[in-house]
Structure 1
Amino acid sequence: MRERKQLIRSVIAEIGITIHAQRRIAELKIVWQGGASTGISMVMNKPGGRVKVTDEDTITLVRRLAEHYNDRSIAMILAKQKRRTATGLSWTRARIATVRATYGIPAYQQPPKDDAGAGCDDALVVTITDAEKILGVSKVTLYRWMKDGFIHGEQITPGAPWRIRIDQALRDKVRPEVPKGWLSLDEAAKALGAARQTVLHKVQRGELDAVHVNRGRRKGLRIQVERNQPGLFDTP
């Protein structure tokens, strides 16, 4: 910056400014070294205004994201959406922190680490990583479940990490052992005389009860085919 100022001073002798307050226009006369001059007229900012500010849509999004993610994660989300700062720069953790401070947006607070194991009746909305630990299944399985409709995920905005709502009903769908008489997907399709995809659609619509076994060699989806057999989700 110091060298830049020195360069400017080496070519400019002086600058005269005439302000027209009512019209909010400033007229500048630049006198160059050697005597030549250039006239420029420019519109002035409103009192207290700034030339470039972050657009309101991005500010609103940062406010929403700050409730769930830290500044580094927010910067990554905005980068995925190809958003830029008011001056055209990429978003970083420091720039997100500056925006929060400017607009009074509180920083993300990590929730206390409670035991979210079986027997907890409170519903939790967690990331894929946390859901993997709570349910004892892999990320690949969780993404497949969302694709198949076995569970439902949500994104606050495109590019944000997926979040899963874990309640007691979902916990009950994950079992350490195969319920007696319940069949694998292939066995259920054979017993019903239907295609695998048809059986999955019946599970999604709630026409067939299903659980996921997360331990042992018999991991995977297990389906209750015989409706007269008491099942995990039967209502008295």
Structure 2
Amino acid sequence: MRERITQLNAAGDMDRQIAKILNDEGVRSARGKLFSYENIWLLRHRWGIPTAKINGVAANPPRWPDGTYSVQGAAAAIGVTAQTIFDYLAQGLVHGRQSTKGQPWQISLSSDQIDQLQRRLQRTRRSRKGAS
């Protein structure tokens, strides 16, 4: 069991996917039940198996191999903080995806979008200075 979970995790499968694969293979828990992602999470933590990440254990790069940006990379490209990027994601000003909750963001940004957000930022900063 441990080897199979380690193998699936190393292949990049998330806990939910691992549970589905094991259930589809007919593997059952010690109590004869189907696996849930919570079971897999608990087993991974008990056995010291790290969460599968798109970049392994390395820090997030500014840009992913597919050309999308990490939060830190998008922040640097636009000239804002990482928290601002999270705000932009929530507001729909930038679009990104996560393979699953807790995984790194992959943010799609064109050079036109970067320019547009930088101009927006300049207008906002100017208006705050003049408001005192």
Give the alignment's TM-score, normalised by structure 1: 0.31
Provide structure 2 residue ranges, at least 5 long, that are not aligned to the other structure: 15-39
> Paired residue for 2:4?
54
Matches within 5 A, 1:1-236: 52-55=2-5, 57-61=8-12, 82=41, 84-85=43-44, 88-92=46-50, 124-176=67-119, 212-214=120-122, 217-218=125-126
Of Structure 1 and Structure 2, the greater helix share is in: 2
8 Å Cα contact 1:137-1:214 kept in structure 2: no
Cα distance in 2 for partners of 1:143, 1:172 equals: 18
Q: Give the alignment's Cα RMSD to 1 decimal.
A: 4.1
User: Given residue 9 of structure 2, which amino acid in structure 1 is its aligned partner?
Assistant: T
Number of positions where the alignment pairs a residue of Structure 1 with one of Structure 2: 96
How far residue 140 of structure 1 moved from its aligned partner, in angstroms, is 2.0
- Cα pair distance change 1:138/1:108, threshold 3 Å: closer
- Cα pair distance change 1:126/1:82, threshold 3 Å: same
8 Å Cα contact 1:213-1:219 kept in structure 2: no
8 Å Cα contact 2:79-2:118 kept in structure 1: no
User: Given residue 84 of structure 1, which amino acid in structure 2 is its aligned partner?
Assistant: L
Cα distance in 2 for partners of 1:90, 1:109 equals: 17
Of Structure 1 and Structure 2, the greater strand share is in: 1
- Cα pair distance change 1:219/1:151, threshold 3 Å: farther
Give the alignment's TM-score, normalised by structure 2: 0.51
Provide structure 1 residue ranges, at least 5 long, that are not aligned to the other structure: 1-50, 64-80, 97-106, 115-122, 177-211, 221-236
How far residue 152 of structure 1 moved from its aligned partner, in angstroms, is 0.7
How far residue 215 of structure 1 moved from its aligned partner, in angstroms, is 7.3
